[in-house]
Amino acid sequence: MNKIYFKFLFFIVGIFSLILCGCSATTRNINITDEVHYDAGYDFSDKKQIVDKLVNPLLLSTFLPSSAKKPILIIYPIANETSEHINTGGITDDIRMKLLRNGKFRFINKGQRKNIEKEIQYQNKGYVAPFMRIEQGRQLGADYILSGTLRSIAKKQPKHWRLKRKEMIYYSLDLTLTNLKTAEIVYADQAEIAREASEPIIGW
C-alpha cells in the first residue's frame, strides 16, 4: 500500500516539476546579425537583409556622372502596400545612414524642415543676436529623390484535415532614384524575401 502511495506521489511531483520547468521565464540577448524568425511575418532580420541588398549595389553602381560634386539626395517615405502595419521609416533611416557613412552622397533632412522653419522664425523674432541668426535662402536643393514601395504576397494553406498549416509570404522592396530636373529614373533595384512557416493546428 505504501509502495503504491509513494509511486503515485512521485509521479505527481514529477509532473509538477516538468510543468514548473516549462513555465519558467527566461531572457537572453540575441546577436542582431543572426537570422531569427518566429513566424513568416516581417521582422528585424528582414529589415537588415533588405537594406544590405539595396545599399551595396547602389554604392557600387556607376549611374551617376563622374564629377567632383557629391549628388544631393532627398528620401521620400517608402510606400507600404503590404497587408501588415510595417514601419517603413526604419528601412529608409537605415538606407540613409549607410549611404551617408559611405561618403558618396549628401542628404537633405526632409523630416526636419518644419522644425528648421520654426527655429528660423524664432531667431528672426528678436530673441537671438543678429550676428548669430541663420541666413535664409541657403538650404541645399536636392538633385535626386530616393523612393520605394514595399509589397507582399501572402498565401495560406486552405482548411483541410491536417496537423500543421503552412503559410508563405513574399516581400519585395523596389527602390528608385529619380532625377529631380528631368524626372528620369536613373537607378532602380529590388530586394526580395520569401519565407514559409508552418505551425501546428493542435496545441495545448
Partner 1 sequence: MRKKLIFIFLRTGLILSFLFMLGCANFSLQDTGNIFHPNTSNKSQFHNISITCDNVPQKDLLLCYMEKGLSFHYKKKYNKSNIFFLKAVELMDKFNKISIREQSSAVFINDKTMTYRGEYSERLWVHTYLMINFLLQYKYEKALVEAKQALKIFDEYPGSLKNDYFTRALIALCFENMHKYSDARIEYEKLSQIIKSKKNLLKICGPDMGELILFVGQGSIPHKISKDIILPPLIRISLPHYTNSYSHLPVYFNYTNKIPIMITTNLGNIAATSLKKRTATLIARHSIRTSTKEVIAKKIGEKSHIAETIFRAISLLSEQADTREWQSLPGSLTMIKLILQPGFHNISLSLGNTSKNLEIKNLEIHAKKKVYRSVRF
Positions in the binding site for partner 1 (CB under 8 A): 1, 4, 8, 79-85, 165, 199-204
Is the CB of 47 or the CB of 165 nearer to partner 1? 165
Is the CB of 192 or the CB of 199 nearer to partner 1? 199
Q: How far is the CB of 80 from partner 1 (least distance, A)?
A: 6
143, 179 Cβ separation under 8 angstroms: yes
Coil, strand or helix at 110: helix
DSSP conformational letter for 137: S
Q: How far is the CB of 3 from partner 1 (least distance, A)?
A: 9
Is the CB of 49 or the CB of 149 nearer to partner 1? 149
| CB atoms closer than 10 angstroms to residue 99 | 20
Q: Of 132, 140, 82, 150, whose CA–CA distance to 113 is shortest?
A: 140
Strand partners, 166: 198
Q: How far is the CB of 105 from partner 1 (least distance, A)?
A: 27
DSSP letter for each residue of 64-98 = S---SSPPEEEEPPPEE-SSS---THHHHHHHHHH
Is the CB of 57 or the CB of 111 nearer to partner 1? 111
Q: How far is the CB of 26 from partner 1 (least distance, A)?
A: 21
